Amino acid sequence: MASRTKLSGIQRQVLSLYRGFLRTARLKAPEERRRIETVVSAEFHENARNVDRRNFVYIEYLLRRGKRQLEQLKNPDITGLSTLEVNK
């Protein structure tokens, strides 16, 4: 049996946030669920590639922002996520 590497506290928080988004997406309409899952997956993968793992201040900022977005998404009146594309 392969041993798992221990996750840091911040890694556990990120995974918990990701799972929270996916769980909340299940409560929405099927077409909106797929859209939410796509947006969330793309955002998390983008940040995993582009954010330095030692930049704790920025990671904590992203966690706080994500938690606020998740709380908004949990509202039954909110049907989905919107994205903003900014060209650099």
pLDDT-derived band at 76 (thresholds 50, 70, 90) equals confident
What pTM, to 2 d.p., does this model score? 0.84
Rounded Cα distance between 47 and 60, Å, is 12
Length of the chain: 88
pLDDT reported for residue 29: 92
Q: 28-65, pLDDT tens digit by residue?
A: 999 999 999 999 999 999 999 999 999 999 999 999 99
pLDDT reported for residue 86: 55
pLDDT reported for residue 83: 65
Rounded Cα distance between 27 and 61, Å, is 26
Rounded Cα distance between 41 and 35, Å, is 10
pLDDT reported for residue 81: 74
Q: In the chain, what is the straight-line distance between the N-terminal and C-terminal CA atoms, in Å?
A: 46
The residue extents of the domains of the chain are 9-74
Continuous H helices in the chain:
9-25, 30-50, 56-74
Rounded Cα distance between 4 and 34, Å, is 30
Both tokens of residue 5?
């590497």
pLDDT-derived band at 77 (thresholds 50, 70, 90) equals confident
